[in-house]
Amino acid sequence: MIEKNQGTRNSHLDSFWSKSSEELLHELNAKENGISENEANLRITKYGPNRLKGKNSSSAYLLFFNQFKNPITLILIAAAVLSSLLQDRTDAIIILLIVVISSCLGFWQEYGASNAVARLLKMVQVTVTVIRDDHEIAVSTESIVPGDVVVLSAGDIIPADCILLNSQELFVDEAAFTGESYPVEKQKGKLETNTPLSKRSNTLFMGSSVISGKATALVIATGLNTEFGKISARLRNNAPETEFERGIKKFGFLLMQITLILILVIFALNVFLHKPVLDSFLFSLALAVGLTPQLLPVIITVNLSTGAKKMAAQKVIVKRLSAIENFGSMNILCSDKTGTITQGKVKLYKAFDINDTENERVSNYALFNAALQTGFKNPIDAAIITGLKSEGQQLPAILDEIPYDFIRRRLSILVELQGFKMITKGAFQEILAICNQVQTGSDSIEPLTSELKQTLMQLYEQYSRKGYRTLGICWKTTTTNSISKEEESSMIFLGFVTFFDPPKESAIAAINNLNSLGVKLKIITGDNALVAESLAKQVGIETPIVVTGSSLRGTSSEALVTKVLQADIFAEVEPSQKEQIILALKKTGQVVGFMGDGINDASALHAADVGISVDTAVDVAKEAADLVLMDQDLDVVANGIKEGRRTFANTMKYIFMATSANFGNMFSMAGASLLLPFLPLLPKQILLTNLLTDVPETTIATDNVDEEYIKKPHRIDIGFIKKFMFIFGLLSSVFDYCTFAVLILVLKANEQQFQTGWFLESVVSAALIVLVVRTRLPFFKSKPSKALLFSNLIVISFVLLLPLSLLGDIFGFVRLPFQFYVYMVLIVAVYVFTADFVKRWFYKKMASGY
């Protein structure tokens, strides 16, 4: 359901790129210094919140009615209605009540889960800076309205369709609209009306992101009126399925095939044996309901939302629920070193010249470059300012700048300092590449000869081997008061600025913790190989295998796969290579996580099976991630992995419980219906059996998980589930037939006694077998959760008392002799201990790798 005000459309939306910013400001009754907060509130009432999907006031009702979308449930309701018209209205009412109760149970679980997840997502909302009441403030993207003036810098997600008011070296990633993988340069201007979307250089589109530079822009369209809004439905449909989702879909097809074959065969045989057609039809449908784990979608949602809440307690916020299963299955984690392995608190070590001497001019020029730039704020510049700026120190006026970007890997400013001076700071190799001279003394400048280059390289390598991040500084005099990228040439190399970011004390323990969980950490960094190797040795990787970005270029796909598997560290990596590394690792069958927080990490976060970011990350990284860490620490990741595995384990428990018990009961029921002159259970009794066995299983999300299971990653395996279903289903049937023998041959039971006896044994054994199937250990060595244990005990107590009550009469149950209960206890006890033995044999012989 869409907010009704989202449809509001104004004339300024039509071809707004062909109008000047002044015209649009006038049409929107806005100013370059923004609108007021009061005006923003009025406009949000008019235009609606800036989102593609409105808050759905009827979501609870839709969620409830969705519980009835199952085709079998609909057929069952129709059959019950037909039954009431033809014969027994009481039975029809009972069947309808059971269906409604089962659906309500599913609704209650799923509604609670969806609300819990919505609350968690509010913790990681993306904000944007706007100018309101003449002040820059941060607001949620939903609060943006037409007429707002937004302030953008590198890493920001563009919150709405906008027209540029001004910009500086602004490059934007808008691949979602144009398919163009390279950033697009944007600048203020007025275009022709028929300019295609890909050529609208004065326009910013909602959902694109700022790669470099800065800008202010006027919001023109929000929500569904944006270009992104027009294609949002298609984009949402393209969300890739996780491996777990694909597995569950295959599992669903398997059950559907078994169910269809079973009900068709049983219905045909019962009619052939001259049993009532309607009863046979209802019986076949009830069998289908009994075999189908109807609550599987609900159980998965509840397990995932419960896992999300537990992960939130571990400082991991889940944005995409289905990623939890992949998080637990993950066996390779790729991460940058800063803030995860290192403290993330970059400190200045030394500013020095070609003579390896601390130099005041190098320090001052580095400070001017860091303190005066107005683009993307970063730890390097903060460290320079903290380490070099003295109290009361006056800085020169900045005239122009070229912001940092990940292609040039440098930043230039122009200051007035005894003339116009251009000062550039950046990666050493990039600085060296644009220099043809070097400052060898306070007033001495020499050509950059190969010998001097060698001296500079030796200094760079010397400090890098010690683990210091080393940048270069250069300068030149210009004749104009503006600069462009083309002028970054023929410069004078001035000196070096070095930094250190010491490893966290907890890093070694955290890496060992990940290794003990079967997760291999691979470090991806833009730093040089020597710095990366030094850090690896400090955190306990004794002989790290380092692969550089340059060595990956031109590598064949086969060789690339081998390289990425062997490497411990990827150093000097370009932004585009991060995604290449992730995809190569995935080709080997690994479940790959990627942890990133930078502007250039979005594509790698999308490519990974699990994209992980941090709450302090730039917007584009946080938006692309599946999980957001509230604390940037590897221990937090390890704790999150454990919760992911617990969630996966509890989901698989339900599948094992439901399929083995249901398949066994239905196989027994199908066989008995052919051997007996009456139906072994009435349709209403089958549905009640299914409902009662589902009740304890709704608490499975609370269950404890054995520590042994958590120690390694697991993946869904349909072949394994099939084996489990058939072996434990047939084992269940063996003891069902033992119950049949006691009822028919020993107790000489009539129709109602048989149905009552088998109902009791079926539900009691299913409730107790849950305690066996839930663990790989002997059942008495693994403690279930209180909710699971008590719900099972309540169901068993209810079932034992049911034949003695008025409700039992309604369902057609009768009192049984005490002798039956003795036999039932023996049968169920032998079944439980036999199942426990078979389970251990099964895991040892058939599922050692699962």
Q: What CATH number does residue 363 fall under?
A: 3.40.1110.10
Q: CATH number of the domain that 756 lies in?
A: 1.20.1110.10
Residues 693 and 98 sit within 8 Å (Cβ to Cβ): no
For tokens 């730890």, the residue is 379
Q: Mind listing the pLDDT tens digit for each residue in 768-806? A: 998 998 898 898 899 999 999 999 999 999 999 999 999
Same domain, 265 and 321: no
Q: CATH number of the domain that 45 lies in?
A: 2.70.150.10
Same domain, 166 and 210: yes
CA within 13 Å, CB half, 86: 11
Check pLDDT > 70 for residue 339: no
By annotation, the residues acting in catalysis are 336
Distance CA 371, CA 246 (A): 51
Extract the tokens encoding 576: 């585009």
Residue that finishes a domain, picked among 456, 474, 500: 500
Residues 184 and 174 sit within 8 Å (Cβ to Cβ): yes
Which residues contact residue 165 at a Cβ distance below 8 angstroms, ignoring those fewer than 6 apart?
Answer: 21, 32, 149, 188, 215, 216, 217, 218
Residue that finishes a domain, picked among 437, 470, 500: 500
pLDDT for 67 equals: 62
Q: Which has more pLDDT, 601 or 387? A: 387
The arrangement of strands across the sheet holding 332-335 comes to 316-318, 627-629, 610-614, 592-595, 332-335, 520-524, 569-571, 546-548
Same domain, 35 and 23: yes
Residue that finishes a domain, picked among 500, 516, 540: 500
Same domain, 487 and 597: no
Under DSSP, the state recorded for 294 is: T
Distance CA 137, CA 131 (A): 6
How sure is the predictor about 850, in pLDDT bands with cuts at 50, 70 and 90? very low
Which residues contact residue 827 at a Cβ distance below 8 angstroms, ignoring those fewer than 6 apart?
Answer: 735, 738, 739, 742, 761, 765
Residues 115 and 310 sit within 8 Å (Cβ to Cβ): no
Extract the tokens encoding 158: 């563009």
Same domain, 771 and 838: yes
Q: Judge whether 336 lies within some domain.
A: yes
3-state secondary structure 157-172: ECCCEEEEEEEEEEEE
Same domain, 232 and 272: no
Same domain, 621 and 494: no
Burial tier of 195 (Cβ tally within 10 Å: 0-12, 13-18, 19+): middle
How sure is the predictor about 199, in pLDDT bands with cuts at 50, 70 and 90? confident
Work out how many domains the chain is built from and give that number.
4
Longest dimension (CA), the chain: 114
Extract the tokens encoding 83: 């039954």
Same domain, 323 and 431: no
How sure is the predictor about 234, in pLDDT bands with cuts at 50, 70 and 90? very low
Distance CA 624, CA 279 (A): 54
Please give the sequence-ordered ranges of beta strands (E in DSSP) within 325-369, or none if there are none: 332-335, 347-352
- The angle, 0 to 180 degrees and rounded to 10, between the axes of the packed helices 277-291 and 71-86 is 150
For tokens 């049983």, the residue is 266
Q: Judge whether 685 lies within some domain.
A: yes
Q: Judge whether 113 lies within some domain.
A: no
Same domain, 277 and 181: no
CA gyration radius, the chain? 34
Q: Mind listing the pLDDT tens digit for each residue in 61-103? A: 666 766 666 555 665 566 566 556 555 566 567 667 766 765 6
Burial tier of 392 (Cβ tally within 10 Å: 0-12, 13-18, 19+): exposed
Beta-sheet pairing, 592-595 with 610-614 = parallel
Q: Judge whether 789 lies within some domain.
A: yes
pLDDT for 5 equals: 46
**Lowest-pLDDT choice from 292-306, 335-349, 633-647:** 292-306
Burial tier of 572 (Cβ tally within 10 Å: 0-12, 13-18, 19+): buried
Q: Mind listing the pLDDT tens digit for each residue in 355-409? A: 999 999 999 999 999 999 887 667 889 899 999 988 878 899 999 998 887 778 8
Same domain, 352 and 488: yes
Same domain, 828 and 699: yes
pLDDT for 313 equals: 79
Share of the chain above pLDDT 70, in %: 83
For the chain, the distance separating the N- and C-terminal CA atoms, rounded to the nearest angstrom, is 43
Cα distances (Å, whole numbers) of residue 26 to 226, 393, 531:
20, 43, 55
Q: Mind listing the pLDDT tens digit for each residue in 628-645? A: 887 777 888 888 888 888
Cα distances (Å, whole numbers) of residue 120 to 139, 324, 832:
18, 14, 41
Q: Mind listing the pLDDT tens digit for each residue in 492-531? A: 999 999 998 888 877 888 888 888 999 998 988 877 888 8
Q: Judge whether 636 lies within some domain.
A: no
pTM, two decimals, is 0.70
Q: Judge whether 577 lies within some domain.
A: yes
Q: What is the mean pLDDT of the chain?
A: 82
Please give the sequence-ordered ranges of beta strands (E in DSSP) within 454-559, or none if there are none: 469-478, 491-500, 520-524, 546-548
Backbone dihedral region of 420: left (phi > 0), alpha (psi from -120 to 50 degrees) or beta? beta
**Lowest-pLDDT choice from 40-49, 264-273, 327-336:** 264-273
How sure is the predictor about 58, in pLDDT bands with cuts at 50, 70 and 90? very low
Domain residue limits at 17:
4-58+124-237
Same domain, 271 and 352: no
Q: Judge whether 92 lies within some domain.
A: no
Q: Judge whether 373 lies within some domain.
A: yes
